[in-house]
């Protein structure tokens, strides 16, 4: 392709709302254009990249034996009522009515639709296992769309669903999808990690996320420094521990006027926050509960959700109505259930609120307090790895994929049965497997850029090679040689861009570097005098002179 036929929409400045590098560079390189919050158009260069990512995913999904389908983005409310998600799904689900007043939503995911299809068309155990996938637009009315296409409201997902007769078969496909995802992310040239992920109420290790490691990632990923253990912080599970220290202090009440935070109390008493207990009050469907954590630990909301279902932190008014004093809540005589985190339960001689305004207790121990224990907290750097090997290190990750064993959750609700070998109806088991196709592009850029712009891995670059002729529109000699090389490359099947614009060399270089095209060949009158072309790789500063006659075989050897 020639640049004069293409919309080159590069720009010098990034918009103010672009906080992360990938967002800035995708706009500056003219890959995407913002339409409204969380809504982006893909410009021609962006579409070329998108199609390449899609092609890799499609090839690998086909290889894994999944069949491509394409389902509507608009979905009738009845399906979501059948699965129970019409009420469960929050405001991320964009709901609307058609002209007849019937309710619909824009699909944030497609379990309901695919399960209905399977119920209709997959009727016999002989058809199982069977997998479907699509590459299609999703809509989620995200509370805070940000980082460009990394967290947008409309985005493209590859979603796949598998149907099985039994758990063994589900496990087999799950393992195959795990391997397939690794192949996809390897081909995309990403530095990624599969990690254990939370699987909510279903439990078990039946879910993995794939994270691209990057400082801009929204997730915290925990790794053992001694083993292969890797998990989303949401999922790092701790078990009950033995108390090692013995209580020795006398409990006393101290005036801690206006010291309502752990930090303030710890500083005032010259102790570490880890010697304090913080008590949170939450409102659950079973009523109010007090949660006690070590002062330096944070509540893990996913764990709390798995224990209590929907919950929220109690408001000031609710705390007051319980007769408790915010900032001075302790562990004794609370009048509501007390749940103590495992790490808090082995502390002794600690500090906590006195349940009295302006007072804390020191030298407190758990004796005579009634409570239950649970795993409530987030992991912190240096925690023992749950597999017993090494300590945890925490890094940031961008979730690009998620695989999940759903079991019979949807198939039961939506009647996806098959006739089993015995002639009786059997509920199928399901797996689901997602990749954020558009997020993958942003994540790739987060790992591959420099001061000049994007450095696309060859597998998804919009073009493999750019030919930059100097004075193309003035020197017939340069034009003839450049056109000839361009034709040779085209014939050889190389994705080549010929920069035939009447622009200064500096601008042409800057654009191809911003766009991250992996290989560049420059042709000028001086090169022509010596029958040479100049080669430069985007990811190297070296410029190499190559004989013009050997330019094609040279570039072929680079691209292979």
CB-nearer residue toward Mg ion: 154 or 399: 399
What are the φ/ψ torsions at residue 113 (nearest 5 degrees)?
-70, -45
Report if residue 152 touches ligand ATP, rule: CB under 6 A: yes
Instruction: Kindly tell me the sign of the dihedral angle through the C-alpha atoms of 442, 443, 448, 450.
Output: positive
CB-nearer residue toward ligand ATP: 138 or 520: 138
Kindly identify the residues of this chain, within the stretch 312-341, that bind ligand ATP according to CB under 6 A: none
Residue nearest ligand ATP, CB atom distance: 436
For the CB of residue 207, give the shortest distance to Mg ion in the complex, in Å.
8
CB-nearer residue toward Mg ion: 216 or 355: 216
Q: Are 295 and 275 a contacting pair, CB within 8 Å?
A: yes
For the CB of residue 198, give the shortest distance to Mg ion in the complex, in Å.
9
Helix (H, G, I), strand (E, B) or coil at 155: strand
For the CB of residue 397, give the shortest distance to Mg ion in the complex, in Å.
12
Rg over CA atoms, the chain: 29
Kindly identify the residues of this chain, within the stretch 122-151, that bind ligand ATP according to CB under 6 A: 140, 142, 151
For the CB of residue 33, give the shortest distance to ligand ATP in the complex, in Å.
17
Tell me the site size for ligand ATP, rule CB under 6 A: 15
Report if residue 434 touches ligand ATP, rule: CB under 6 A: yes
For the CB of residue 183, give the shortest distance to ligand ATP in the complex, in Å.
17
The stretch near ligand ATP (CB under 6 A) out of 79-87, 395-403, 416-424, 522-530 is 395-403
CB-nearer residue toward Mg ion: 355 or 405: 405
For the CB of residue 303, give the shortest distance to ligand ATP in the complex, in Å.
16
**CA 463, CA 454: separation in Å to the nearest integer?**
13
The residue with tokens 């192949």 is 183
Residue nearest Mg ion, CB atom distance: 402
The stretch near ligand ATP (CB under 6 A) out of 10-18, 252-260, 318-326, 435-443 is 435-443
Question: β-strands 465-469, 496-498: how paired?
Answer: parallel
For the CB of residue 402, give the shortest distance to Mg ion in the complex, in Å.
4
What are the φ/ψ torsions at residue 150 (nearest 5 degrees)?
-70, -45
Report if residue 48 touches Mg ion, rule: CB under 5 A: no
Report if residue 157 touches ligand ATP, rule: CB under 6 A: yes
Nearest of 372, 230, 233 to residue 303 by alpha carbon: 233
For the CB of residue 557, give the shortest distance to Mg ion in the complex, in Å.
41
Query: What DSSP letter does each residue of 12-74 carry, written as one string?
Result: SSPPTT--SHHHHHHHHTTSEEEEETTEEEEPHHHHHHHHHHHHHHHHHHHHTTPEE----SE
Site string for ligand ATP, 95-114 (x = CB under 6 A): --------------x-----
CB-nearer residue toward ligand ATP: 23 or 140: 140
Report if residue 42 touches ligand ATP, rule: CB under 6 A: no
**CA 499, CA 512: separation in Å to the nearest integer?**
9
The residue with tokens 């409310």 is 77
286, with CB counted inside 10 A (0-12, 13-18, 19+), is exposed
Kindly identify the residues of this chain, within the stretch 400-419, that bind ligand ATP according to CB under 6 A: 400-402
Positions of E strands within 71-191: 74-76, 95-97, 103-106, 130-139, 154-164
For the CB of residue 446, give the shortest distance to ligand ATP in the complex, in Å.
13
Residue 155 binding result from ligand ATP, Mg ion, none, given CB thresholds of 5 to 8 Å by partner type: ligand ATP
Kindly identify the residues of this chain, within the stretch 357-416, that bind Mg ion according to CB under 5 A: 402
**CA 349, CA 255: separation in Å to the nearest integer?**
17
The stretch near ligand ATP (CB under 6 A) out of 81-89, 363-371, 397-405, 522-530 is 397-405
Residue 397 binding result from ligand ATP, Mg ion, none, given CB thresholds of 5 to 8 Å by partner type: none
Torsion (CA) 19, 24, 27, 28 in degrees, nearest 10: 150
Nearest of 464, 289, 260 to residue 374 by alpha carbon: 289
Taking CA atoms, 379 is separated from 35, 237, 274, 446, in Å, by: 39, 8, 14, 26
Sites of contact with Mg ion (CB under 5 A): 402
């Amino acid at each position: 392709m020639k640049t004069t036929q293409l919309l080159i929409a590069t720009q010098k400045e990034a918009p103010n709302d672009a906080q992360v590098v990938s967002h800035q560079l995708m706009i500056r390189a003219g890959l995407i254009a913002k339409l409204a919050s969380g809504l982006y158009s893909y410009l021609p260069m962006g579409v070329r990249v998108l199609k390449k990512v899609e092609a890799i995913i499609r090839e690998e999904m086909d290889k894994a034996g999944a069949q491509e389908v394409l389902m509507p983005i608009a979905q009738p409310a009845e399906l979501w009522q059948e699965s129970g998600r019409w009420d469960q799904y929050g405001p991320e689900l964009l709901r609307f009515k058609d002209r007849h007043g019937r309710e619909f939503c824009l699909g944030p995911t497609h379990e309901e639709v695919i399960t209905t299809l399977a119920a209709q068309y997959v009727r016999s155990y002989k058809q199982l296992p069977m997998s479907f996938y699509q590459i299609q637009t999703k809509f989620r009315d995200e509370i805070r769309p940000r980082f460009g296409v990394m967290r947008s409201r409309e985005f493209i997902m590859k979603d796949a669903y598998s149907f099985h007769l039994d758990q063994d078969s589900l496990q087999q496909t799950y393992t195959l999808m795990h391997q397939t995802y690794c192949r996809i992310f390897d081909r995309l040239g990403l530095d990624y990690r599969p990690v254990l992920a939370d699987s909510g109420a279903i439990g078990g290790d039946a879910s993995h996320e794939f994270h691209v490691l990057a400082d801009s990632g929204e997730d915290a990923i925990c790794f053992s420094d001694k083993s292969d253990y890797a998990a989303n912080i949401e999922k790092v599970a701790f078990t009950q521990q033995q108390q090692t220290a013995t209580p020795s202090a006398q409990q006393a009440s101290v005036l801690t006027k206006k010291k309502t935070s752990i930090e303030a109390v710890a500083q005032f008493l010259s102790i570490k926050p880890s010697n304090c207990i913080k008590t949170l009050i939450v409102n659950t469907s079973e009523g109010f509960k007090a949660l006690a954590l070590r002062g330096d630990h944070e509540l893990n909301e996913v764990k709390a959700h798995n224990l209590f279902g929907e919950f929220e932190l109690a408001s000031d008014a609710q705390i007051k109505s319980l007769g408790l004093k915010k900032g001075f809540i302790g562990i004794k005589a609370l009048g509501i259930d007390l749940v103590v985190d495992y790490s808090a339960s082995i502390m002794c001689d600690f500090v906590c609120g006195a349940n009295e305004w302006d007072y804390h207790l020191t030298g407190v121990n758990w004796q005579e307090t009634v409570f239950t224990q649970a795993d409530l907290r987030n992991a912190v750097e240096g925690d023992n790895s749950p597999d017993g090997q090494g300590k945890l290190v925490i890094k940031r990750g961008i979730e690009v994929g998620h695989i999940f064993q759903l079991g019979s959750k949807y198939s039961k609700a939506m009647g996806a049965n098959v006739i089993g070998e015995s002639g009786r109806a059997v509920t199928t088991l399901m797996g689901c497997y997602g990749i954020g196709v558009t997020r993958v592009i942003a994540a790739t850029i987060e790992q591959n850029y420099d001061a000049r712009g994007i450095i696309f891995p060859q597998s998804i670059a919009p073009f493999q090679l750019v030919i930059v002729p100097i004075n193309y529109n003035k020197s017939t000699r340069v034009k003839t040689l450049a056109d000839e090389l361009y034709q040779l490359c085209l014939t050889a099947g190389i994705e080549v861009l010929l920069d035939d614009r009447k622009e200064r060399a500096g601008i042409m270089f800057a654009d191809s570097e911003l766009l991250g095209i992996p290989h560049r060949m420059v042709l000028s009158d001086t090169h022509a005098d010596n029958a040479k072309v100049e080669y430069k790789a985007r990811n190297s500063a070296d410029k190499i002179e190559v004989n013009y006659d050997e330019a094609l075989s040279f570039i072929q050897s680079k691209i292979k």
